[in-house]
Each structure stands twice: as C-alpha cells, then as structure tokens.
Amino acid sequence: MPAPVPRQRAIPAVEGGQAPAAEPNGGPAQDSSEARVTAPRAAAPSGNATDRAGSAPDRPGTPAPTHLTLLLIEDDPGGSPIVPELLDRSGKPIRVRTARNLTEAGRLLTDDVHCILLDLALPAPGRAGDGDDELAVLKHVLELAPRHAVLALTGADDTERGAEAVRVGAQDYLVRDELDGRLLSRAIRYAVERKRSDSAERRLAEGRVRAQENRRLERGLLPTPLLDGSSLRFAARYRPGRSRALLGGDFYDVVRTPDGTVHAMIGDVCGHGPDEAALGVELRIAWRALTLAGLCGDQLLGTLQQVLEHERPDDEIFATLCTVDIAPDGRRAGLCLAGHPSPLLARPGHPARLLPYDNNGPALGLLPGARWPRTQVELGAEWSLMLYTDGLIEGRVGDTGERLGQEGMVEMIRRQLSEGLRGEKLLRTAVNEVRDLNGGELTDDVAVLLLDRVV
C-alpha cells in the first residue's frame, strides 16, 4: 500500500454529526463505530474555536449542519487523506464516516450517504492474496452500493488502475499524494452530480425502451381486417383516451367468412385504462375466433359475455358491443346491439340516418342469461356503414357544456358527406372536428370504422 500522507489533524466523528458529543456534565460520550475510527480533535485556541469547515464551535449534543455525507473506506484512519475545509457547494460541511474494511462499510452505508471514497489497495472479501483482479474491491463496492457515487483512491504510481476503475464504474479517481481539501470537496460534489446524471439518463433510456416495447405490443394487438375476396372498402380511426397510449378500452374487428359474409364488430369496455385495454383485446380475439367458427347473433354474444365474466378483474366491469353481419350480396345485414349506439347508414340520394335500435339488448356483463335479438336491415345497392364508440358522441360542444350526442354527430356526418368526404378522409375529419368542438383532446377512447359498398 502506498505510504500515506500525514494529515493536518484527524476529524472526530462528532464533527461530522455521526458520534454523540460529550455529556454536558463532562462524562464520556457513548461509543460508536464512527467515533472509534477517528482520532481525537486537536485543541483550538481559547475563545476562537472552529471546526474543520469554519463553522461555529460545536454545541453539546448538536451535530453540525450538513448537505453531503462521505463514506471513507480506508484501513489506516490515522493516515487518511481527509483534510480540513471539506465543504459542499453551499458552504456547509461535508459529513465524513470512516470504515476500516468492507464489512464495516456495509454497516455504515445508509441511505443518507451520497459518496464513497474507496482505497483500491484494500483486499476484497474472499480475495485476500489473490492478485488476479486488482479491482475486485471496487467491483464489490459497486455491487454493494449501486446507487451511490464512488471515488477511487490510488497512489501516484498507480494511476493506470485509477483510470481502469473509472471504466469499471467509479465516477472518478484521485491520487493520494495530490489531495487537499478543495480538490476533495470538489471531487465529491462532481461525483455525486455525475452519478445523479447517469442514473437519470439510465432511467430515461429504460423508460424509452419500455415505451417502445409497449408500443410494439399495442400495435400487434390492433386488428388487421380479414377481407380477402370482398368488394367492400374498409377504413378505421382509433384514438385512445390515455396519454401516450396506442390502445384503449375500445376495440373493433372485421372478418369475412368462407361463405362470403362480412362480419364487423365494435365494442367498448367501461373505463379506459390498461386493464380495460387488455380486456378489450381479449374480447376482440374471442369474437374473431367465434365468428370464424360459425357463431353469430345471440349465441355469439352469449359466449362473449361468459368470456367477459371470467376475465374481468371486477364484477362491476361491463362492455357494450355492436355486431353486423353483411350478406354475401352486400344488400342486407343482421344487426345485434348490446347496450351500444346504433350504426349510421348513408346511401346516395338519402340523408344519413341511424339504424334501428329498438331491439337493443343489455351490455355484456350486466344481466346473467340475457338475450340479444338480431334485427334484419336493408342496405341497398350502394351504401356506407359507420360503426363507432360513444367517445365520438360524448364530447362537449364549445362552452355550452352540452354533448354532441347522436343527433349532432348525424348532422356533422351529413354535412361532411355533402362536401364529398369519403373513407379514411371522412373519419379523420369527423374525429378532428369532434375534438375541436370539445375544445381539446377527448378524455374517452374513440374508435370508428367505415365499410363502403360502391357499384
């Protein structure tokens, strides 16, 4: 181990606020680990006593105020490099704790320690006399204190090991022979700030990775319509109510079965958090599987209710649903509503209107053994059918506080159709106008899908 530089005077632990001061009656203070590893304080001139940071004399039992705490791991406290004038940026004294070995350091390493000054010459546990890894002691400390700033202490002839210590994970290294109070104080402050910056940058990077993974997952859960062989045109618009999310509690899907029937569905799980989004995905996937298996109408909705009842985290959770099955010739459809708003139908030469909703059944998950009647609807030769969730109609209208409602939505779509808007452009314009009428982003999820038949 390099020869230590004699210190001007040792700093008693009481000055660092770690050991009890002497009792007012002059009796000895209680023993502590910090007190045992520091030397007695040198006498100061009478009437002009100051501590190492230039603060007022210690009052019995009152620790000096401090902002930073340093843990020195050094097996020779009498020759340790700690010198007077250890101050933080605001001029407050830096509290110092001293440990002779890593076992003692583990006991003194509490949450209020900000920085560790480690003598690289110390032996690592289980590595006494083993020269295979010169930085074993540093690696042990980094594992012991992953959230703390670490300064490595080396000799003048061992700077290469100090540079390697920085590469391994220390914030900086210091040469024992070059230490003074100002240099050490500054090194402590910089090491703490670098550690904070590194930790914040790491957390930010981890957050970005998690966000990217979540976005990839959510994209994978959004449906890809199965319309091969169909002449119908499809468009959809989706806007979750959760900030920075791609998926909300609304869900939709469209598939074509081998007999040529096109099945469309849109639904809404009450709420718009991640749990509701996950449940919506489960219901959509179940709907697709059941539809491709040949189920439809009341039988399909009854099975979906069983899925909801088994998968929901709370008995109060329910979901609304609208299903449409369009005949292979495209001229008629069957409609089932489970507490959901009725679709909008637009045909050339006729004003856009809502489909009948007199046979609207209850939402899924509300009534055990419920039934959902299927209504036959005539579509005609050329038409546009729009399915939507209530997020499109429950936004506010300006400062009046009134909601847009179904009637307001129908009037809006009629006007936009008269302006020649169709397909994806129609849906984009509709959702943007609803948001503008609301005076800002909508708080509820919004899903809209559009099927067009053009002859």
Chain segment 307-340, per-residue pLDDT in tens: 999 999 999 999 999 999 999 999 999 999 999 9
**Tokens read off for 61:** 């039992």
- Residue 163, pLDDT > 50, answer yes
pLDDT value for 21:
39
Alpha carbons within 13 A on the beta-carbon side of 186: 6
pLDDT of residue 235: 97
Q: Residue 132: its pLDDT value, please?
A: 61
Pair 188, 206: CB distance under 8 Å: no
Which whole-number Å values give the CA distances from 224 to 68, 221, 294, in the listed order?
A: 57, 9, 19
The pLDDT assigned to 10 comes to 37
Q: In what order do the strands lie in the sheet with 344-347?
A: 233-239, 446-453, 383-388, 344-347, 350-354
pLDDT tens per residue, range 182-208: 888 888 889 888 888 888 888 888 888
Between residues 80 and 203, the one the model is more confident about: 203
- Mean pLDDT score of the chain, rounded to an integer? 81
Which has more confidence, 106 or 287? 287
The C-alpha atoms of residue 275 and residue 247 are separated, in whole angstroms, by 11
3-state secondary structure of 352: strand
Q: Can you list the positions of beta strands (E) in 69-207?
A: 69-73, 95-99, 115-119, 149-154, 172-175
Nearest to 280 by CA among 450, 449, 447: 447
Pairing of strands 332-338, 319-326: antiparallel
The three-state secondary structure class of 178 is helix
Residue bearing the bigger pLDDT, 192 or 5: 192
Q: Give me the pLDDT at residue 234, please.
A: 97
In sequence order, which residues have a C-beta less than 8 Å from that of residue 298 and are 6 or more positions away? 336, 371, 372, 373, 374
Which is nearest to 166 in space by CA: 193, 195, 186? 195
116 forms bridges with which residues in the sheet? 71, 150
Q: Give the confidence band of 27 by pLDDT, cuts at 50, 70, 90.
A: very low
Tokens 């459809």 correspond to 333
In angstroms, the CA 358 to CA 374 distance is: 11
Stronger pLDDT, 309 or 95, i.e. the higher one: 309
Q: Is a pLDDT exceeding 80 seen at residue 35? A: no
Say if strands 95-99 and 383-388 run parallel, antiparallel, or are unpaired: unpaired
Using 50, 70 and 90 to split pLDDT, how confident is the model at 55?
very low
Question: Looking at the predicted structure, is the pLDDT value of residue 158 above 50?
Answer: yes
pTM of the model: 0.59
**More confidently predicted of 214 and 408:** 408
Cα–Cα distance, 227 to 264 (Å, whole number):
10
> For position 330, what pLDDT does the model report?
96
- Give CA–CA dist 205/403, Å, rounded: 41
Tens digits of residue pLDDT in 229-282: 999 999 999 988 766 666 788 999 999 999 999 999 999 999 877 888 889 999
> Is residue 126 very low, low, confident or very high in pLDDT (cuts 50, 70, 90)?
low
What average pLDDT does the segment 446-453 reach? 96
pLDDT at 28: 39
Q: What is the pLDDT of residue 401?
A: 81
Angle between helices 274-292 and 297-311 (to 10 degrees): 140
Report how far residue 149's alpha carbon sits from residue 193's, in angstroms, rounded to the nearest whole number: 8
Cα separation of 35 and 37, whole Å? 6
Q: What is the mean pLDDT of residues 378-385?
A: 97
pLDDT at 426 over 70: yes
Residue 158 DSSP class: -
Cβ-based neighbours of 332, under 8 Å, separated by 6 or more: 326, 376, 377, 378, 379
CB 99 within 8 A of CB 20: no
DSSP 229: T
Task: Decide if 119 contacts 91 (C-beta within 8 A).
Answer: no
Average pLDDT over residues 387-407: 91
> What amino acid is encoded at 331 in this protein?
R
Q: Is the pLDDT of residue 128 over 80?
A: no
Residue type, 244: R
- Tens of pLDDT along 83-92? 556 777 777 8
DSSP codes joined into one string, 6-51 = PPS----GGGGT-SPPPPTTSPPPPP-HHHHTSPPPPPPPTT----
Q: Give the pLDDT band (50/70/90) at residue 60.
A: very low
Q: Report which residue type is found at 175.
A: V
